[in-house]
Structures are given as C-alpha cells and as structure tokens.
Amino acid sequence: MNHVKTGPVFLKSFRELPEVLEQELPIQKNRVMLVGDTNTIPLYGEAVASELRKVFREVGMFAFEAGEEHKTLDSVKSLLAYLIDSRYDRKDCIAALGGGVAGDMAGFAAAIFLRGIPVIQIPTSLLAQIDSSIGGKTGVDFDGYKNMIGAFHMPALVCTCPAALSTLPEEQFRAGMGEVVKSALLADADLCSFLVSHADEIRNRDEDILFEMIRRTCAIKAEIVRRDPTEQGERALLNLGHTIGHAVEKACHFSRLHGECVGIGLNAAAYMSLRRGKISEEEYQDILHMCALFGIPDSISGLTEEEILRNTKSDKKMAAGQIRFILLEKPGRAYIADDVTDEEMLCGIRRILQKE
C-alpha cells in the first residue's frame, strides 16, 4: 500500500493536478479527504478540491488549527474521528495541503488510520516543499518535545507547486530558507555558491531561480531518503542544525519558527566543527554570511545554556545514552559524530547566546 515515489512531481499550477494524479498516482481514485489548516484551506482549499473532483469520486475537506502549538495528538484525534464519521476505508486516501505542520499531522493520521491509508502531499510552504513533504516522516509533538510521536509513512505522491509560494508570508519564507541552507551545507557545496550568487533573485522570489533552488534541494533529500528510508544511518545527516535547533525551539515554547531554530542550530554546529578543526574560520564566517543573506537568525536571547543543554540531551536523537550530532567536514559535506561531549555542546550553545 505504501507506493514510494521519493521525489516530488513539479506543477506550474494546481490546474495540472488532474493530469498528474491520473498518470502518477498508483492507487484507486475513490474518496479523498483534503486536509489542511486554517491558513491553507481558505487560501487554496476550494481550488485544489475542484481539481481533485476531476479524478476522485468524492472529495471531503478538513482543517486543523494552524500553528505548531496545535501539532498534537488531540488534533490528529479530531481528524481520525472525522474520517470514521465519514466512513472512510482502506480504499480511500488523504491529501495533505499546507506547510510542515499540516503535512506531518495529515501524514501521521494516514499512517495510523486503519493501520495505514495512502497520503498525497501537496506542500504550500517553502519548508514543506523542500523538506517535510519528502521522505515519509510524520508525527506530532508531545509534552513539549518535537516530533516525539510519529511513524514513517511514505507518500503515494508529492505534488509541489512553487507558484504557491507567492502568498507565503516573509517570515515563513525565511524559515524555509533555513532548511535550504542546511541541505546545501550537508551535501552540495555548489548549491551553497548558487544561493550566495542568486541571493537577490531568491529574496525577490524569482520563479525560475526558485524552481532551480527547490529542485536541487529536493534532490538532496530524495537521494538520501532513497538510500536510507528509515534513518538507520546516512539519513541522520539531514538533522544538521536540528539537535540544538530543536532544543531552542522547545526552550522558547515554539514561539520561533522551526526553520529559524534550524538556522540557530546551524551556527552552533558550524562553530563546533570549527573548534574541531574541520572547517576554517573563513568557512565559518562564510556560513554565517550565507544565513544572513536570507535573514536566517544565528543567535537567540532570553534562554540559558543549562536549559538548552538539558533539552538537547533529552532529544529523540539520543542513542544508547549518547547524543548523535551532525557536524561539518567542510561546507557541502556533513558527518555523524557520536563522540560529542557536554563541553563541546556548551561551546556551541554559548556561541548562539553570545548576542544577548
């Protein structure tokens, strides 16, 4: 039932959905529940539903409350109840419309409803288009811990429409760029150069440049996921910037966007890599400059190093009591470090708190 198409299909507009679904979706076109949030459903819900009706026998619609604070089991429970009341069965599917939060929750509901039904991802934020919609990670936050409960559930299809980014708020676009920079740093030095040389066009959301940036970023994640779909090894590299980033996200009670916290975590990881002699001072400063070009923050105030360290050590990336950290060999190549000490982490944490 989990038909895996790792990379996305790109659309110029949502009007291309029917043709793509007919050609690419390897499931029965029975009923589909279009699931978004209270931002994306008013913006795109009816337009997407009208295209889905050209393919599916019946289209339903459900909206979560928007925001990371609603990424909970209770929210997923409300969707599950709606699916049951609507008498959905294993021949039906879910289409997730929205950013990372909506996609994660809709995907998790699809993973656990009747032991799994297909999900189509239709990401509308930059972060979702280049990261969260790809690879089948689904889940919710629990008791303040990021994505602590979830499942791997590969989408039957990912349909990405870069044109949808025209309505994306600036802070959401900036947060998405945090994940773009992360991907370039961990696997593609040429993409780092592309981002710097085309920074003006990217900030102005030039369609051709955005398409190329999204295509190349998606390719990085899709290839890593293809080789390691359930994070038994190499896929952990995608967590560059996330270990301390998640700790910051929790410490500030999710008041900062995920991609912003990843940017802060990138600074910590890059500084730790510098102290290990893996990257030079010039390379470290280049990384900070690249983040600054897109307004990605590299520090945060109002938190303590003890709080961030405590959160870091309670992250789900712990293995046999040892934190698994992603550091840089050089810009464009990351590695897994299982030997990071508390003192090293504190050095990275102090670096992101230095501008209080």
Q: Which residue range forms the structural domain that includes residue 209?
A: 170-353
Asked if residue 336 belongs to a domain, the reply is yes
Q: Looking at residue 3, what is its pLDDT?
A: 46
Q: What is the pTM of this model?
A: 0.92
The reply to whether 178 and 325 lie within a common domain is yes
Asked if residue 1 belongs to a domain, the reply is no
Q: Residue 261 is part of a domain; what is its CATH number?
A: 1.20.1090.10
The reply to whether 212 and 243 lie within a common domain is yes
The reply to whether 132 and 47 lie within a common domain is yes
Sheet holding 119-123, edge to edge: 9-10, 157-160, 119-123, 93-98, 31-37, 58-64
Q: In sequence order, what are the beta bridge partners of 145?
A: 142
Q: How many domains does the chain have?
A: 2
The reply to whether 16 and 155 lie within a common domain is yes
Q: Looking at residue 2, what is its pLDDT?
A: 43
Asked if residue 3 belongs to a domain, the reply is no
Q: Looking at residue 26, what is its pLDDT?
A: 86
The reply to whether 155 and 183 lie within a common domain is no
At 163, which helix (H) or strand (E)?
Answer: none
Spatial contact of 92 and 35, defined as CB atoms under 8 Å apart: no
Give 201-249 as a DSSP string.
Answer: HHHTT-HHHHHHHHHHHHHHHHHHHHH-TT-SSGGGGGGTTHHHHHHHH
Closest CA to 94 of 114, 73, 67: 114
- Alpha helix (H) residue ranges in the chain: 17-24, 40, 46-52, 73-85, 100-112, 126-127, 170-187, 189-197, 199-203, 207-227, 242-251, 258-275, 281-293, 305-313, 342-353
Q: Residue 51 is part of a domain; what is its CATH number?
A: 3.40.50.1970
The reply to whether 107 and 224 lie within a common domain is no
The reply to whether 180 and 293 lie within a common domain is yes
Q: Looking at residue 1, what is its pLDDT?
A: 39
Q: Per-residue confidence of the chain (356 residues) as pLDDT tens digits? A: 344 556 899 999 999 999 999 999 988 899 999 999 999 999 999 999 999 999 999 999 999 999 999 999 999 999 999 999 999 999 999 999 999 999 999 999 999 999 999 999 999 999 999 999 999 999 999 988 889 999 999 999 999 999 999 989 999 999 999 999 999 999 999 999 999 999 999 999 999 999 999 999 999 999 999 999 988 899 999 999 999 999 999 999 989 999 999 999 999 999 999 999 999 999 999 999 999 999 999 999 999 999 999 999 886 655 556 788 999 999 999 999 999 999 999 999 999 996 54
